[in-house]
Structure 1
Amino acid sequence: MNVIDKFKLCGFNIGGFILFRWIYQIYWQNRLLPDIYMLFGLVALLVVLDIIRLRPGKSLNIQGILLQYIVQKVLSLFGYFIQKRLESMSANIQDHQDKLLLNILKQQSETDVGKMLRIGEIKSVDDFRKSIPLTMYDDYEPFVNIIEESGCSNVFFPGKVDYIACTSGTTSGSSKKFPKSFSILRKTSGKWLILAQKCFTNLPRNQFIRKWLAVRCTSNIWLSKSGIKCGPISGLASNFSLNFYVVPNIAKDLKDDETVIYLNLVFGLKHPDICNLFFSTAQMALSFFQVLERKWPSICNDIEHGTLSSLNGLTINERNSLIQSLGGGDSDRAEFLRKEFENGFIGIVPRVWPECPGMFCLATGSFMTQADVVKKRYLDSVPIFSPFHAGTETFYGINLHLGEQEVTYTLMMPFNYFEFIPVENTVEENPQTLQCNQLSIGEKYELVVTTWEGLYRYRTEDIVEIVGFYGTIPRYKFVRRRNDILSATTEHVPETLVSEAIRKEAVTWDNDLVDFVTTENIYINKVLGHITEEHYYTVFIELEHDDILVENESEKVDLHLQSLHEMYQRFRDSGRLQSLKIVLVRGGTFQNIGRLIRTLNKTTSLMQYKLPRIMRNEKLVQYLLDNRLNTHDIKKDSCNSVSDHPPNPQG
């Protein structure tokens, strides 16, 4: 008898008890109203019926089902009250923002950063905006270095630092570091994550009592000279988890990212009734499925025999603990999976997890291409939800409208003070800012934040577009990073427009787009030792199958880009810019680029890795050139600028 049948039998017995008790009261005690025993029985019956409605996973035991049910109900209740509080704030969010700022300044006035900025002398919001200049990471780096060296307290915020969170460094080449406090995180973002949990469970089938398949990697953790843990923000976020996972917690602490992915595949595929798929980014999701395609025979063997025979590097205790948690083999499930994998991986998710409600990951900005690949190849009808907009420095927004097609976020104004720089003024060193009650729908702004963790008027470099309001709280969509701009001469073209032009044209190709990056030709000339008076953009593209494009694809993408950006069109018409060039690279190139980037920057983990859309690093440009397809296989217009550089067959 499976666990659902046990709950059905339990409900039948409770119902029978209530009926018998009521008949007994009526005929033998002449009482119509239920007594205390019947009331308890009715409550128990309602709980059992609700659990049956939530279709618990067949692999769960009764204790696990009851625990997850209670936790989900408590979180849902808290989420309801938090949402009501947010709605109350949204009536006049600017008033709340002003009070929030003054509270932050009061708490931080005696910190080292606060003393440097003399925030104890500030008496009003206007004083703050006039006397404190906009800041960048360079303003805080000396204080971070002090904490790393000596572990000082009261530097950014009152008290000690519990963790130093590091950015991926894939854009700048080096990681930025932000001190974190567990108590401040619980006070601020912690409770608002419960609201996110409520949004998750509002989605169809996502409220079922089942375990999440969430790939969590915390391998890149180290100690500073002062003994403080350092690493990606994901290493900290996993300590604040509110969910029940298919994979034991021991897996996330293993040192090899691919081992962690493999374990998630073994445990996750053994369960046909997972709640959902959860990844930090669409890049992480793509890596997950790429490992599946390479290692599915070993995965099926381990599921069949209840082993982890293909994994090396595990200690005896780790292996024994994981095998025990796996709970033995399942030959029927393994045979089913083999047949599905042998039929290919197009639409594999709904075939192996037919009730999976969706995949959660960061899928906007630089992750859009990977999200498109995952959706088209693996997900089929299963939707992608992008729940958060967050950075290592702070948590910016939450997607309160997960069911909508367009991904938008609502600013988390309850715990950050926000200002906004109009996009046309972002090139200025210290531009004037706007407050949330001065924003216009359809306009773009750079976000500026003041946080409980010691950042003041910090320029985030994130450009967003206001799409509406939740009450008076701005709703927005992420557009790009401020410096994601291409400029071969003196034009300034956002990389997002190049991406849009490529995606528009790619839908007409017979070969699926895997990924791409763009650079100005000066960086290619620098690698090759060329001197040329021409100026143009080069787009390195990887397709699903190594193949050629028709002769005029570069021209078509260039025409799309001209239609999207007036200045680019003017430079093209005047001859100051030449037509964009497409260079095709071998399959697997961008997967290897990711490994190379993580090798060059040891602090970057797979969970936070993102492919830089503009490629200017000399080693990475060289690698792309080494892995381009043979030039005689590419039409003349695609690569005539680099045709004399032979590909490296070992790339």
Structure 2
Amino acid sequence: MRACPISCTAVKQQFSTCSRKPKDVNQMTRGNPCQLPGMLPNYDPNDNEAGMKILEDLTENVEQIQQRVLEEIITRNARTDYLKGFLDGQFDKQVFKKTVPVVNYEDIKPYIERIANGDSSNIISAEPIIELLTSSGTSGGQPKMMPSTAEDLHRKTFFYNLLVPVMNKYVDGLDEGKAMYLLFVKPETKTPSGLMARPVLTSYYKSNNFQNRPFNRFNVFTSPDETILCSDSKQSMYCQLLCGLVQRQEVLRVGAVFASAFLRAIKFLEDNWKELCSNIRTGHVSDWITDPGCRKVVSLVLNKPKPELADLIEHECSSKSWEGIIKKLWPRTKYIEVIVTGSMAQYVSTLEYYSGGLPLVSTMYASSECYFGINFKPLSKPWDVSYTLIPNMAYFEFLPVKEKNEDGAQYVQCNGVCKENCMEKETEKEDVETVELVDVKLGQYYELVVTTFTGLYRYRVGDILMVTGFHNKAPQFRFVHRRNVVLSIDTDKTSEEDLLKAVTKAKVIVESLGILLIEYTSYADTSSIPGHYVLFWELTSKGNNHLPVLDPKIMEQCCSTVEESLDSVYRRCRRKDNSIGPLEIRVVQHGTFDALMDFCVSQGSSVNQYKTPRCFKSGEAINILDSRVVTRFFSQKAPFWELV
């Protein structure tokens, strides 16, 4: 999923409206400041009624706000190097849509790299670019870099503030306790120009908007800021869990950004609860916690020995079953806040096992490029989650996803096999007109295109969305999947092309020994924590159909080669974050992929057009593959990764 949600309660800061004003204020606002695209209403975020009123105004005046957003962006940036080459000094919306192309990252990458290397921001933005946000949406190579401005931080804070009244509408008493949100910073680097390049959440946690948020019971966390900002992920995790356990009776909600991160915390707790209990029993933090900020704040939270609390936690954690452990350890918890849409949906059943029946709440839809939408019904089931796009965040357009299946279905699960097979290829560029936000149709599928205040113009985000309904005049969308992404465990996003390149490099190793890889596929195995990639390989000796004798060291080398060939986000998750387990190759017996084709045909696939999907999500298909596995091999070393 996309998404980069910081918890909905992370910030509640008041801020002033943007100083820029349109030419005719009265005409644009018609008495409603929310319709000013360059302005962010200044209101008390603790005032639920005011917050809901702003949301109603925003969703009622979608068309007007979107037009003003585009006008504001064009007026600000028409003289940038990028736009003036298309607009030639004109400020007209129709000229913009006619002349400015819809682009992918590779089209704008040269401009962003010039800024990273020292060129002026006004190549793409009239506002100074203060940092570059590294995206997890990669395609080989390094993470994408997205421009960000100072005003963008305020826009994000405004967005977070609007999440608060929505949660208060559905859950009572959230201001009467604390949130145990496990939040972490990621590696960052400085570009040749001196700009920082870092993930969007790291940017926000390190900003004044987050760190100087005014005191309010609703945004009090069990984790002191020093533990969140600790660059050592293990020390950060340990200290945040320790603080959360000590304050267990005050915790009303728990969560992390992604479902995978929260489950990783549960696994960490399983591995370290005895030591955590020892710290609580003695009132002293372990000696290996060497970060000075962490030691200081955690010592203040521990305060004194708490043997009774340690005994209680030890009793719960020593149980044979951890089913419902969240509710047992934090008994007042009302919900778990994690993203469980998109690729994170694969973790729902595991979360439900640990949760003890607590609701799973996905509050928002966001990315490094822009913050998009809010879930107006946060207690809905994961498979029913829809996001309402907030019209003053950016100018939104949509590319219709064209029908491809013989039966005319626009988007199906490919007979339960692989969703991506039904979608148009990313590299297929067709002359398709975009649809505006107010013109999308119920039940239709679209790819999201954004024009932002930060220097992205008609940029293909790569997300496929389905229109599920409307709130007032604002469309609501279900996140379906990333364009052409076939594998994802955490923030990694591996495309079919990325996987093919990696497998091609690895198969050279066995081919040199007279062994042929005749077919392969994959799936993301999340049955354990952390999850890992599984490749199914059907191998044969040259000249016959017999399965060759395989040298374990050679096959382990194949596993490692695949990992080394995947992108830097995958390699970081494997080596530094430990959020992805070692890659596995399962060798299957001869004829397995013929049996797989028979299954797909029995489910309705066309014999003439069938090709092996490079990723499977169907449990039945995976069972067919697993039943024919003859041997398994794992990567024995983490792939190389360094912060460039």
Same fold (TM over 0.5): yes
The alpha carbon displacement at 1:104 in A equals 1.0
Aligned residue number for residue 326 of structure 2:
349
* SS of equivalent residue, structure 1 residue 276: strand
**Residue of structure 1 in register with 2:284 after alignment:** 307
Contact 2:463 2:482 in 1 (8 A): yes
Specify the SS of the correspondent of 2:583.
Answer: helix
User: Kindly tell me: are residues 385 and 391 of structure 1, through their superposed partners in 2, closer, same or farther at Cα, counting changes over 3 Å?
Assistant: same
> In the TM superposition, what is the alpha-carbon distance from 1:208 to its structure 2 partner?
3.2
Shift of 1:482: 1.4
In the other structure, the counterpart of 1:115 is 84
SS state of the match for residue 304, structure 2?
A: coil
**Alignment partner, residue 598 of structure 2:** none
1:178 aligned residue: 146
**Following TM superposition, by how much is the alpha carbon of 1:387 offset from its aligned partner in structure 2, in angstroms?**
0.7
Change (3 A) 1:411 1:531: farther
1:296 aligns with 2:256: no
Question: What corresponds to 1:76 in structure 2?
Answer: 46
Label 1:151 to 1:257 Cα distance change in 2 as closer, same or farther (>3 A): farther
Counterpart pick for 2:202 among 231, 235, 251: 235
Q: More relative contact order in 1 or in 2 (CA 8 Å, sep 6+)?
A: 2
- The aligned counterpart of 2:532 is none
Instruction: Assess, with a 3 A threshold, how the Cα gap between structure 1 residues 448 and 170 changes in structure 2: closer, same or farther.
Output: closer
1:369 aligns with 2:356: no
Alignment-derived partner of residue 324 in structure 1: 300
Q: What's 1:451 paired with?
A: 452
Could you say if the C-alpha distance between residues 440 and 348 of structure 1 is closer, same or farther in structure 2, counting changes exceeding 3 Å?
same
Q: Offset of 1:329 from its aligned partner? A: 2.7
Distance 1:389 1:606, change over 3 A: farther
Q: Which secondary structure does the structure 1 equivalent of 2:443 belong to?
A: coil
The Cα of 1:85 is off from its aligned counterpart by: 3.1
Please state how far the C-alpha of 1:640 moved relative to its aligned partner.
8.3
* CA spacing shift, 1:411–1:477, aligned 2, 3 Å: same
Letter in 2 for 1:164: L
- Cα 1:349–1:453 change in 2 (3 A) is same
Deviation at 1:375, TM superposition (A): 2.1
Encode CA deviations 1:461-493: one digit per residue, 9 max, x unaligned.
Answer: 1000000011111101000111136xxxxxxxx
Report what 1:567 is aligned to: none
Structure 1: segments with no counterpart, 5+ residues = 1-66, 486-494, 500-515, 546-553, 555-584, 612-619
Contact 2:80 2:125 in 1 (8 A): yes
Residue 104 of structure 1 pairs with residue 104 of structure 2? no
Cα distance, 1:359 vs structure 2:
1.1
User: Aligned in 2, Cα 1:88/1:639: closer, same or farther, shift over 3 Å?
Assistant: closer
Q: CA deviation at 1:362?
A: 1.4
**SS of residue matched to 1:158:** coil
SS state of the match for residue 254, structure 1? coil
**Aligned counterparts, 1:15-30, within 5 A:** none
Say which of 346, 359, 376 aligns to 1:400.
Answer: 376
After TM superposition, give the deviation of residue 287 of structure 1 in Å.
Answer: 0.9
Q: 1:215·1:261 contact (CA, 8 Å) conserved in 2?
A: yes
Distance 1:154 1:543, change over 3 A: closer
- The one-letter amino acid paired with 2:161 is I
Q: How far off its partner does 1:193 sit?
A: 1.8
Indicate if the aligned counterparts of 2:143 and 2:569 stay in contact, CA closer than 8 A. Answer: no
Note the C-alpha offset of 1:92. 4.2
* 1:226 Cα offset (Å): 2.2
The CA deviation string for residues 228-265 of structure 1, in whole angstroms up to 9 with x for no partner, is 22211111222333522112111122222122111111
Tell whether the 8 Å contact from 1:219 to 1:605 is kept in structure 2 after alignment: no
The correspondence for 1:217, drawn from 180, 184, 190, is: 184
* Amino acid in structure 1 at the alignment position of 2:453: W
- SS at 2:449 equivalent: strand
The equivalent residue for 2:193 is 226
Q: Aligned match of 1:381 in 353, 357, 367?
A: 357
The reply to whether residue 244 of structure 1 matches residue 220 of structure 2 is yes
CA distance in 1, matches of 2:278, 2:256: 25
**Distance of 1:429 and 1:206 partners within structure 2:** 52
Which of 51, 55, 66 is equivalent to 1:86?
55
* Kept after mapping to 2: 8 A contact 1:212/1:277: yes
1:190 corresponds to 2:177: no
Return the offset for 1:182. Answer: 2.0
Q: Deviations over 1:29-67 (max 9, x none)?
A: xxxxxxxxxxxxxxxxxxxxxxxxxxxxxxxxxxxxxx9
> Measured at CA, do residues 424 and 310 of structure 1 come closer, stay the same or move farther in structure 2, by a change above 3 Å?
farther
Change (3 A) 1:102 1:329: same
One-letter amino acid of the counterpart of residue 624, structure 1? E
**Which residue in the other structure is 1:255 paired with?**
231
CA positional deviation for 1:442 = 1.0
Q: What secondary structure does 1:324 align onto?
A: helix
SS of match in other structure, 2:479: strand
Change (3 A) 1:106 1:358: same
Aligned to 2:388: 410
Deviates more, 1:290-299 or 1:107-116: 107-116
State how 1:536-555 maps to structure 2 within 5 Å. 537-539=521-523, 541=525, 543=527
Quote how far apart the aligned CAs of 1:401 are. Answer: 1.1
User: Could you tell me the percent identity over the aligned residues?
Assistant: 22
Retained in 2: the 8 A contact 1:196–1:387?
Answer: yes
C-alpha spacing 1:304/1:182, structure 2 compared with 1 (3 Å): farther
Q: Which residue of the other structure, out of 95, 100, 106, is the alignment partner of 1:132? A: 100
When residues 266 and 384 of structure 1 are mapped into structure 2, their CA distance, relative to the original with a 3 A threshold, is same
Distance 1:104 1:599 in 2: 32
Aligned-partner residue type, residue 424 of structure 1:
K
**2:241 is aligned with 1:271:** no
Rounded Cα–Cα distance in structure 2 between residues aligned with 1:284 and 1:208: 25
Alignment-derived partner of residue 29 in structure 2? none
Structure 1 residue 385: Cα displacement: 0.4
Match of 1:441 in 2: 442
Structure 1 residue 209, shift from structure 2 partner: 2.2
**Residues 597/298 of structure 1: CA separation in 2 closer, same or farther (3 Å cut):** farther
When normalised by structure 1's length, the TM-score is 0.67
AA at the equivalent of 1:351: K
Task: For 1:472 and 1:216, locate their aligned partners in 2 and report how far apart those are by CA, in whole Å.
Answer: 34
* Structure with a larger share of its residues in helix: 1
Contact 1:169–1:604 under 8 Å retained in 2: no
Shift in Å, 1:353: 0.9
**Deviations 1:524-550 (CA, angstroms, capped at 9, x unpaired):** 8566438769656444646459xxxxx
State the number of aligned residues. Answer: 496
Alpha-carbon distance in structure 2 between the residues aligned to 1:351 and 1:132: 56
Q: What is the Cα deviation at residue 382 of structure 1?
A: 1.0
Distance 1:444 1:531, change over 3 A: farther
Q: Is the Cα contact below 8 Å between 1:173 and 1:601 reproduced in 2?
A: no
The 3 A distance-change label for structure 1 pair 597 and 533 is closer
In the alignment, residue 328 of structure 1 is paired with which amino acid? K
CA deviation map 1:272-315 (0-9, x unaligned): 22131131111111111110000000111111222221534424
Secondary structure of 2:123's aligned partner: coil
Distance 1:522 1:70 in 2: 51
Counterpart of 2:236 in structure 1: which amino acid?
A: V
- Residue type matched to 2:481 in 1? R
- More divergent stretch after superposition (283-292 vs 190-199): 190-199
Closer/same/farther in 2, CA of residues 432 and 604 from structure 1, 3 Å limit: farther
Q: Which residue of 1 aligns with 2:169?
A: 202
Q: Secondary structure at the match of 1:75?
A: coil
Paired residue type of 2:322: F
